[in-house]
């Protein structure tokens, strides 16, 4: 019988150790104290389907969508590399797009999203101005896609040249 108590104590100790490890990893992630309802990873769940907004013609997969204790949804985008002083406009627009995708797929309008850079997390408020900027950018992209010639672009980075979507038709390739 005493062996059974030792086993119970050992399992209890293991459960406490795993809980503490989980809490430490959660703090290191700097994600908000919220439930993960969508993750573009298979760590917590099967990778979910891509979010779709038929009206705006957008699709996307945010890194995370978190549900706060109050029930609000927050898109979280993880960025690697350099941490800027302020979020890049393209990242803010990407996060706004995820906010609109959440609205279309979950019937709930997020008030803000989080950009998680290696050294800092930025809260990006979803304002009417940011939404208008996104819609205008989408319209510009769609107009560019209708053109016969590739748009003006930088040719100073060989890495960007290799991964450019216009590489197949570009007459200014640098490598």
pLDDT digits (tens, 9 = 90+) for 47-78: 678 899 999 899 999 999 999 888 999 999 99
Count of the separate structural domains present in the chain = 2
Task: Give the whole-angstrom CA distance, residue 139 versus residue 32.
Answer: 33
Q: Is 77 a domain residue? A: yes
Determine the Cα angle at 69 with ends 77 and 105, to 5°: 50
The whole-model pTM stands at 0.73
List pLDDT tens digits, range 129-151.
Answer: 999 999 999 998 888 888 877 67
Domain presence at residue 67: yes
Which residue, among 131, 148, 121, 21, has the nearest Cα to 63 in the 3D structure? Answer: 121
Q: Indicate whether 152 and 90 sit together in one domain.
A: yes
pLDDT tens digit string along 17-33?
776 666 665 565 556 66
- Judged against a pLDDT cut of 90, whether residue 169 lies above it is answered with no
pLDDT tens for 75-132 read 999 998 899 999 999 999 999 999 999 999 999 989 999 999 999 999 999 999 999 9
Query: How far apart (Å, rounded) are the C-alpha atoms in residues 71 and 64?
Result: 15
* Residue 73, domain extent: 34-162
């Amino acid at each position: 019988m005493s062996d059974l108590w030792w086993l119970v104590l050992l399992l209890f100790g293991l459960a406490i150790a795993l809980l503490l490890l989980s809490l430490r990893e959660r703090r290191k992630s700097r994600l908000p104290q919220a439930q993960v309802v969508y993750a573009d990873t298979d760590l917590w769940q099967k990778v979910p389907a891509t979010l779709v907004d038929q009206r705006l013609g957008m699709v996307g997969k945010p890194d995370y969508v978190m549900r706060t204790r109050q029930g609000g949804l927050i898109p979280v985008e993880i960025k690697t590399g350099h941490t800027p002083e302020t979020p890049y406009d393209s990242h803010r627009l990407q996060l706004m797009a995820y906010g609109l995708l959440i609205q279309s797929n979950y019937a709930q309008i997020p008030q803000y999203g989080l950009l998680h850079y290696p050294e800092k997390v930025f809260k990006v408020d979803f304002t009417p101005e940011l939404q208008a900027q996104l819609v205008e950018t989408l319209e510009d992209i769609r107009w560019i896609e209708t053109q016969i010639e590739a748009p003006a672009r930088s040719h100073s980075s060989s890495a960007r040249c290799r991964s450019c979507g216009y590489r197949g038709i570009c007459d200014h390739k640098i490598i």
